[in-house]
Amino acid sequence: MIINGHSSSLPIQSSVISTNLPHRIALIDSKGKIVAVNNGWKAFAEKAGVSMKQVGPGVNYLDVCRQSRGAASRKALAGILAVLNGKAPTFVMDYACDTASGRTRYRMSADAITHGTARAAIAHVDVTDMQSGRRAVQDFARRLIRAQEEERRIISREIHDDVGNRLALISLSLRKIKQQASSDITESELGKVLESITDLSGILRNLSHGLDPAPLRHLGIRAALKSLLDAFQDTYGVPVDVVIPPEMPRLADEAELCIFRITQESLQNIVKHSGADKVKIVLAQTPRQTRLTVSDGGQGFVRSAALRKGGLGLLSMEERALSIGGRLTVNSEPGKGTEVRLTIPTAKHASVIHR
Question: Structural domain boundaries of the chain?
Answer: 2-126, 131-212, 220-355
- List pLDDT tens digits, range 314-327: 777 888 888 888 89
Q: Homologous superfamily of 220-355 in CATH?
A: Histidine kinase-like ATPase, C-terminal domain (3.30.565.10)
pTM: 0.47
In this prediction, residue 248 has a pLDDT band, given cuts at 50, 70 and 90, of confident
Residue type present at position 55: V
Highest mean pLDDT among 42-56, 62-76, 123-137: 62-76
Q: Homologous superfamily of 2-126 in CATH?
A: PAS domain (3.30.450.20)
**Dihedral through CA 231, CA 234, CA 238, CA 239, nearest 10?**
80
- List pLDDT tens digits, range 70-115: 888 889 999 999 999 999 888 988 887 766 666 777 888 899 988 8
- Residue 310 CB-density burial (10 A; 0-12 exposed, 13-18 middle, 19+ buried): exposed
Rounded-to-integer distance, Cα 102 and Cα 219, Å = 43
Taking residue 84's Cβ as centre, other Cβ atoms within 10 Å add up to 20
Highest mean pLDDT among 113-122, 214-223, 341-350: 113-122
Q: What percent of the chain has pLDDT over 70?
A: 64
Taking residue 191's Cβ as centre, other Cβ atoms within 10 Å add up to 14
